[in-house]
Amino acid sequence: MQQTWFITGSSRGLGRALARAALDAGDTVAATARRPEALADLVAEYGDRVRPIALDVTDPDAVGAALAEAREVFGRVDVVVNNAGYANVAPIETADDADVREQFETNFWGVYHVSKAAIPLLRAQGGGLVIQFSSVGGRVGGSPGIASYQAAKFAIDGFSRVLRAETAPFGVKVLVVEPSGFRTDWAGASMTVHEVPEAYAGTVGAAVRDPATFPGDPERAAAILVRVAKRDDVPEHLPLGAVASAMSVAQDERLLASDRRWAAVSVSADVGQPYPVELPDDVLG
């Protein structure tokens, strides 16, 4: 099954690996990037199966034009990938508000613009797949220093659940990808680490890591996603990496245990239900 991909942020990292993996699988790719010249080598190698398109995802007009160009060049778009994203590091207490909002412009609003603009196209052609790059941090959360980024990733998941419900009748599937650490520029050149006050040295300061130590292989992630995109049965969420897998399962088990422990109390808030009920034992730890 030959597919046409539309990928944001394909100049580097996971987006670039995904563009190459799709091309290697015989697919066609609208490879969008803020600096489309960074894709010259892919064009030299794959010719007109790849179309570099200039796109900063924070510009909704440019998003519409880029999708229209992809549709015009390839006739359809089967897989829309919201990959563009980055994180800067600062404690919430000292974070620069403008920087926090700016990260949201790319990490959440970029996903919103592309998803929204893709709906009419996908609906008209009878379906497609939207792949949203969240993070294992967008399921588990709690990583010191990247509140804006992680809040945006949670927002992507909430947005994508509604997108899935609204577009399923049109044949659209929505896959939220949740990677752990991958060897890209995410924690390197793409990340600004703001000054970390002494009081946050053990939390925010300790969280800054060398991406070369991350176990995730972008080429493997990309090849996996290309195979998944060719299935009928696509998961709603896909953790990628051993850490992402272990953390997601542990988080969901913790939530499940807590929800079950408090279930009688939860139910008791409704009219007609037994009330009051005993709270669970008040034990610490």
Ligand X SMILES: NC(=O)c1ccc[n+]([C@@H]2O[C@H](COP(=O)([O-])OP(=O)(O)OC[C@H]3O[C@@H](n4cnc5c(N)ncnc54)[C@H](OP(=O)(O)O)[C@@H]3O)[C@@H](O)[C@H]2O)c1
Q: Name the site residues for ligand X (rule: CB under 6 A).
A: 8-9, 11-15, 33-35, 55-58, 83-86, 106, 110, 133, 135, 179, 181-182, 184-186, 190, 214
The span from the CA of 177 to the CA of 31, in Å, is 19
Residue 50 DSSP SS3: strand
Q: Is 230 a catalytic residue?
A: no
Shortest spacing between CB 127 and ligand X, in angstroms: 24
Shortest spacing between CB 21 and ligand X, in angstroms: 13
CA R_g for the chain: 21
Helix axes 218-229, 13-24, angle to 10 degrees: 50
Shortest spacing between CB 271 and ligand X, in angstroms: 43
Q: Is 10 a catalytic residue?
A: no
Which residues in 98-112 are b (16+ Cβ under 10 Å) and which e? eebeebbebbbbbbb
Q: Is 149 a catalytic residue?
A: yes
Q: Which residue is nearest to ligand X (CB)?
A: 13
Positive or negative torsion for Cα 154, 143, 196, 209: negative
Phi, psi of 2 (to 5 degrees): -85, 135
Nearest to 51 by CA among 6, 16, 14: 6
| Residue nearer to ligand X on the CB measure, 84 or 89 | 84
The span from the CA of 143 to the CA of 156, in Å, is 17
* Strand partners of residue 54: 33
| Residue nearer to ligand X on the CB measure, 34 or 230 | 34
Which of the following is catalytic: 10, 11, 115, 134? Answer: 134
Shortest spacing between CB 221 and ligand X, in angstroms: 9
| Residue nearer to ligand X on the CB measure, 111 or 122 | 111
The span from the CA of 12 to the CA of 188, in Å, is 12
Shortest spacing between CB 275 and ligand X, in angstroms: 43
Q: Which residues are catalytic?
A: 134, 149, 153
